[in-house]
Structures are given as C-alpha cells and as structure tokens.
Amino acid sequence: MGRKRRAWFPGAKYHITSRGNRKSTLFYDDEDRMKYLSFLQETMVRFPFTLHAFCLMTNHTHLQIKTSDTSPTIIMSHLNTKFAKYFNKKYDFTGHVFEKRYGAELLDSLDYEFDVSKYIHLNPLKGGLVVALEDYPWSSYHAYVNREVTQLVDTKHLLSFFPAPASKRYEEYIKTPQVDLFLLNNSKVIMIKRKEENPCVQK
C-alpha cells in the first residue's frame, strides 16, 4: 500500500521534524550545524518559504515553516539530500542519514502555532543540553528574545501578537508553564487557553 499523501496547499504552515536514521547523531560539531543552516538558507532561496522557528538538536531537527508555492515534500527532500551528501562525505559514511520520511504536523490554528513555537524553543532545555535557554545557540530563540538580526528567521508574525516590549513578553511566555495568552489581533485582545504540552516529542 502506498503512503498517504500529506495535506498541502499554498500558505500552509507546518511543524516539520527530521531525525537521524535509527536515532543516530546528525551534528557532531558546530561545522555540521553551520552547514545545515547554510543549506536551509539555500533551500529557502531556491524554494521560497518562511521560517518562523527552528532548533537543531543532536539527532533531530525542528522547523516551523509557512509554505509559499512549494510543498514541504520538495523543500525537505532538497534540504535533507544536501545535508546527507555533505555528512556522508565528511565522515566517510554510506547509506541513509535521515529516517526515510520527515514528520509534518499541519498548523491549522493560531494557538497551535504558539504551542509549537514554545515547544521548539524549549527543546534544548527539556532535552538536557543546557540549563538555561540563553546558553543554546542553535535555535531561533535568540532571534525572538534578543532580537538578533537574521535573514533566516521571520519573527514578525508571532511577535506581532504581543504587546510592547514584544520580545520580553514572548520570553515570559516561553518560560512560564501552562500560561494563558492574551494577544493583540487588529487592536482586539484575544485569549488562547493553554493546553497540555505539545505531544510531538523527538528523542
């Protein structure tokens, strides 16, 4: 039986995960991480999409994206193939680098977008890689909280819902467990009631 086709339409938003084959390591050093991000930016130029958040863990990656005119299947095939060729050449490996199929969760509501953003940025902390989010450089957390200038991540969409200072309010949201959100939308206040932690955990 063939694989079920994933839902896609121009403008669709996703939480995309890619994991090393048999949960093996994807990034042995900072050069590997920098290469991945350079391939990510190259892919974005070739197949335009908006990156709202990312995190590179040891054996898997998280991307929160909004597509344009290209499906995530094409985007991820190009990105993962580029990195796999680099990885196998550098370490003299053969075979699959990633699991055969990436994970893709369609983000069909604003509260899901905020849940995923929080989950992605908390990943290094929950994975035991750091004791403070500020100590982890391989995510988009600093772009949101410290307003670091980057051509890779678009923070405007999510930050636009927070009152000033938006970056500080976003930081408070990330660091406060199970907090309800009161956001601004076209000058109106909307409430997003928090749910349980996002279940899409990669180990």
Q: Is residue 1 part of a domain?
A: no
- Residue 50, H or E segment: strand 49-56
Structure-block tokens of residue 11: 């403008």
Q: Is residue 176 part of a domain?
A: no
The tally of domains found in the chain comes to: 1
Per-residue model confidence (pLDDT) at position 103: 95
Per-residue model confidence (pLDDT) at position 101: 86
Parent domain of 18: 12-160
Beta bridge pairs of residue 165: none
Q: Is residue 62 part of a domain?
A: yes
Q: Is residue 45 part of a domain?
A: yes
Terminal-to-terminal C-alpha distance of the chain: 28
Q: Which residue stretches of the chain have pLDDT < 70?
A: 1-5, 178-203
Q: Measured between alpha carbons, how far is 74 from 95 in angstroms, rounded to an integer?
A: 21
Per-residue model confidence (pLDDT) at position 100: 81
Per-residue model confidence (pLDDT) at position 72: 96
149 torsion bin: left (phi>0), alpha (psi -120 to 50), beta (else): beta
What CATH code is carried by the domain that includes residue 126? 3.30.70.1290
Q: Is residue 80 part of a domain?
A: yes
C-beta pairs of 134-140 under 8 Å, 24+ apart in sequence: 138/27, 138/33, 138/55, 138/56, 139/53, 139/54, 139/55, 139/56, 140/51, 140/52, 140/53, 140/54, 140/55
Rounded to whole angstroms, what are the CA distances from 141 to 79, 119, 137, 185?
Answer: 22, 11, 8, 23
Whose structure tokens read 């819902």?
Answer: 161
The tens digit of pLDDT for each residue in 165-183 reads 999 999 999 998 765 655 6
Per-residue model confidence (pLDDT) at position 177: 79
Pairing of the two strands 49-56 and 60-67: antiparallel
Q: Is residue 166 part of a domain?
A: no
pTM above threshold 0.85: yes
Per-residue model confidence (pLDDT) at position 147: 85
The tens digit of pLDDT for each residue in 129-151 reads 999 999 999 999 999 999 887 88
Q: Is residue 174 part of a domain?
A: no
Per-residue model confidence (pLDDT) at position 187: 47
Q: Is residue 200 part of a domain?
A: no
